[in-house]
Amino acid sequence: MKFATKVIHAGIEPDISSGAIMTPIFQTSTYVQQSVGVHKGFEYARTQNPTRNVLQNQLAALENGNFGISFASGLAATDAIIKLLKSGDHIISCNDLYGGTYRIFNKIYGKLGIQSTFVDMNTIQNISDAITPNTKLIWVETPTNPMLNLVDIEAVVKIAKQHNILVCVDNTFASPYLQTPLDLGADIVIHSATKYLGGHSDVIHGAIVVKDKAIADELYFIQNASGAVPGPQDCFLILRGIKTLHLRVQRACENAQKIADFLVAHPKVEKVNYPGLSTHPSHELAKKQMRGFGAMVSFSLKADTLAAADKVLSSTKLFSLAESLGGVESLIGHPATMTHASIPLEERKKTGVVDSLIRLSIGVEDADDLIADLEQALNA
């Protein structure tokens, strides 16, 4: 089954009780049992919900996995993965990643004895050099947030397998339409489903997909025991969003390429980060590893000041100044004070998250209108 068919049909059947083509929202906390231990497969809604089950099956199909596990948010999903580890274990992660992931690694689990090392994964040798006898997880974000660096998943997997280390890939920026890390050997794929999977800026959700049953069973246990589960309404919204995933991401990618080309030529722009540019250091890797270059663009200004960035950020009319990404509408953001504010200044600067860095989430509007909006904001 090809992707455009999967998003409509994979894991989804008409409701057996009514024939409804859309999966119903099973808004219930518990289920009636015929007698003690005799039921229809559902006992309590924290553990299982029919709407959530359908979504989890579809998520698994989209990522070419066997098991999907849904959570109340992307960070709840991150939390569950770290709970696969124990005190004394060690994580290696990329040094250019979402600030919320950095925060949970350092501020939450660092206190509990799980240490993290952040390295530049553009150089694969850095991963090998960081491995210790206690390293149990390599956490890859590709493309990275917000610098749009790429990490060679197959190369990371090769190193990890030599040391019996799990590999988790945050696939939020690419979406399964553009990249399927399990096919490249990763053990775990995670999404902030709030973003492209939902696609309409109206739901918070997290998702994990794996192939291995033992890992899945442990994650299902954590999901139930810790309780960070999504409600059925949230699951319904993600199911609805997935149906147009391929259409939305394709259009947004086309827009992003045009906008990146425009920014490269603008005299007030210092640097543009977008894998679709031939000048991007990982352009060839993007062509090999992905099926498109994505819809996220970041750029820095020649006037490298917060004031200059603020002038652009506050001058757009179509790009809305807001957190998040992956919706049908275009957003503009300032990583240094928004998504990455929890990362210390010196660490941010090392990865290129300077005061003038601006991040764009490109939507599905007309590209000419978006370019005109950026032009007037830059000229302001």
The Cα 372–Cα 239 span in angstroms is 34
Residue from 79, 96, 152, 170 carrying the catalytic annotation: 170
Is residue 46 annotated as part of the catalytic site, yes or no? yes
Q: Mark out the alpha helices in the chain (DSSP H runs).
A: 3-9, 50-62, 74-82, 99-103, 125-130, 153-162, 213-226, 232-242, 245-265, 283-289, 306-313, 345-351, 367-379
The Cα 78–Cα 98 span in angstroms is 12
Question: Quick one: angle between helices 232-242 and 50-62, nearest 10?
Answer: 30
Q: Which residues contact 73 (CB under 8 A, 6 or more apart)?
A: 192, 194, 204, 205, 206, 228
Residue from 6, 52, 136, 195 carrying the catalytic annotation: 195
Is residue 98 annotated as part of the catalytic site, yes or no? yes
Paired with 272 in beta bridges are 299
Question: Is the dihedral angle over the CA atoms 188, 194, 198, 199 positive or is it negative?
Answer: negative
Is residue 86 annotated as part of the catalytic site, yes or no? no
**92 touches 137 (CB < 8 A):** yes
| Strand residues in 66-157 grouped as ranges (E) | 67-71, 90-94, 115-119, 135-141
Residue from 46, 243, 258, 271 carrying the catalytic annotation: 46
Is residue 44 annotated as part of the catalytic site, yes or no? no
Peptide bond into 176 cis (omega under 30): no
Q: What is the DSSP letter of 43?
A: S
Residue from 98, 109, 177, 274 carrying the catalytic annotation: 98
- 54 HSE (CA, 13 A, CB side): 26
Residues annotated as catalytic (active site), given as ranges: 46, 98, 170, 195
